[in-house]
Amino acid sequence: MLDRDDAPRLSFFVHDHALRASVGSAQIMYDQMISLLLLTAHPNFSINVVLAETEPNGVFDGSFMLMRYAKHAPTVAADTRTATLFLDQRGDTEEYAYVLDELANVGLEAEESRDFVDKLSREYGKAR
């Protein structure tokens, strides 16, 4: 999908705890970090790590996707414990856009995030 001429632009904010939480073996974690590093080579893909010590209070409280379209109004898919809510009311989408702005203010820049993931990959690589 990222190699298409009309590839979507994908931007992610990831809490550093999510990158450090071991899911499986050190090999699996190493492979996941390498996959993230390879994805950052695509011009339409970015990841920004939000460090725990810089987390804005009350902003990083759950996963969601804000989808913006050229010809349609934005939509948010917000995950709850038992369902995903799709929100398309202007006030709702503006609130989630605000959250992304706040995360952009405190998250690491793309290159810093790439370095952070690279450092984790080396740590997991040594542990395998």
What is the full per-residue pLDDT of the chain (128 aa) written as tens digits? Answer: 888 998 999 999 999 999 999 889 999 999 999 999 999 999 999 999 999 888 666 676 789 999 999 999 999 999 999 999 999 999 999 999 999 999 999 999 999 999 999 999 999 999 98
DSSP letter string over 1-56?
-TTSTTPPPEEEEEEHHHHHS--S-HHHHHHHHHHHHHHTTSTTEEEEEE-GGGPP
What radius of gyration do the chain's Cα atoms show?
Answer: 16
For residues 88-100, b (16+ Cβ closer than 10 Å) or e, as one string? eeeebbeebeebb
